Amino acid sequence: MKSLAGYYFLFYLAMSVVMPYTSLYFSDRGFSHTTVGLILSLWALVSVIAQPVMGLINDRINKPRKIMLICAIAAPVLGLGFHFTHGLAAILVLSVFFAWFQSSGGPIGDAMAVEIASKRGFSFGSVRLWGALSYAVGTFSTGILYERFGYTDIFIYYLVISTTVCLSLMLLPAARISRRRVTLFGQMGEVVRNKPFMIFVVTSMLMMMSASINMNFLPLYFKEMGFDKSWIGSAFAIAAIIEVPMFWVATKLSKRIGKYQLLCLAAAIYGIQYFFLFSFANVSLTLAVQLLNGIAFAFVAGTSVEIVQSYATEGTKATLQTVYAAVTWGLGGIVGNAMGGMVVDRFGAPFLYLILFCLCTAASLLFLSSRHHQKSASHVIEA
């Protein structure tokens, strides 16, 4: 448990120094909002392919720690290339390789963590909350640092902190995710034929698409609204710090009201946050509603991983986690980031948040109305 907590703390600390600031990084290099959105959409497109492929590979060779280590080394080394790359074409080529490894390690780590947690008798949320804590610390610190010194060195910081992630992976138990002998096509066929899982993924995509857009375009919202950009890190930190106790609350609530009902509540909370950002142009209120973002994310992160795991059979556990991440964050990010850049350029950042409000409202209603699949999932989870 301590090893997993340490891994999540360092993994999300590394994420905190780079991912919230990529839109500002490319914007400050002179790219338009539309171009920034297209670059981030390419990252999402690559993740749609990379995450299921890496999940399939992991389920075949059954060595998650080794794959996670490869990703932890390759992603920051490739990311450093952005520091020396000029021209959109070169950035797009490098993006393909960077996004492949950067997007793949997390879902495989989640699959391994859930497996270890279930065998050792502790909840996934109890270790995942350490990632929320480090993300809060990291985003708060880097927000101040980057506003003072600029965003040009974010990938250098990412490389430095990622070395500690590699060390933490050495301390993880050499756990293997249980599997049975099955062909690669048979393995993928099981995923596609798992209709409750596929319905859950599509519904989740609406909600997670909005979260992905918010993470990438909130810095540009600050910039367009004329807010002090030194508060950007604080905004992400506020969301992340509330996640720490909310992961514990989510565990209690999921047992009391049900996992699907908790996701319905999370989508509604996301929607309320986005409606406030659309309606009011006030930096204090913008910072305050980040509490809602943290609460909703904590409700989603641990719950969705456990629901996905409940749909998995032996031999598809990492595959289902990576497919879920690829569709919700990946495919959702492709559509969302491309759309987000064009909406901000044409209609302004506040209007983008009206669209996000509509997406989350739809997701909340779909979670609420899918009663048959909610009951099916509950029976599987309880079993």
Q: Say how far apart CA 132 and CA 367 lie, in whole Å.
A: 25
pLDDT in tens, the chain (383 residues): 778 888 888 888 898 888 888 888 888 888 887 888 788 888 878 887 887 788 778 777 777 888 888 998 999 999 899 888 888 889 999 999 999 998 888 878 877 887 777 777 777 777 777 887 888 788 778 877 877 787 888 888 999 999 988 888 887 766 554 444 444 445 555 666 667 777 888 888 888 888 888 887 888 888 888 888 778 878 888 887 888 788 888 888 888 888 888 989 999 999 999 999 999 889 899 999 999 998 998 888 878 877 887 776 666 666 777 778 777 777 777 777 778 778 888 888 889 899 999 999 998 888 887 655 554 444 444 44
302: how many CB neighbours lie within 10 A of its CB? 28
User: Quick one: pLDDT at residue 379?
Assistant: 45
DSSP code string of 295-320:
HHHHHHHHHHHHHHHHH--TT-HHHH
Q: Say how far apart CA 64 and CA 54 lie, in whole Å.
A: 10
What is 2-172+182-382's CATH number?
A: 1.20.1250.20
Instruction: Output the six-digit token pair for 263.
Output: 């996701």
Q: Say how far apart CA 16 and CA 160 lie, in whole Å.
A: 13
Cβ atoms of residues 364 and 264 within 8 Å: yes
Q: What is each CA distance from 25 to 18, 39, 79, 355, in whole angstroms?
A: 9, 12, 12, 25
Q: Say how far apart CA 175 and CA 299 lie, in whole Å.
A: 27
166: how many CB neighbours lie within 10 A of its CB? 15
DSSP state of 348: -
- By the 10 Å C-beta count (0-12 exposed, 13-18 middle, 19+ buried), 14 is classed as buried
Residue spans per domain, the chain: 2-172+182-382
The residues, any chain, with a CB within 8 Å of residue 238's CB and separated by 6 or more, are: 136, 287, 288, 290, 291, 294
Q: Say how far apart CA 216 and CA 248 lie, in whole Å.
A: 27
User: Quick one: pLDDT at residue 200?
Assistant: 83
* Predicted TM-score (pTM) above 0.85: no
Cβ atoms of residues 14 and 165 within 8 Å: yes
User: Quick one: pLDDT at residue 266?
Assistant: 92
User: Quick one: pLDDT at residue 378?
Assistant: 44
User: Quick one: pLDDT at residue 268?
Assistant: 94
DSSP state of 328: I
User: Quick one: pLDDT at residue 183?
Assistant: 45
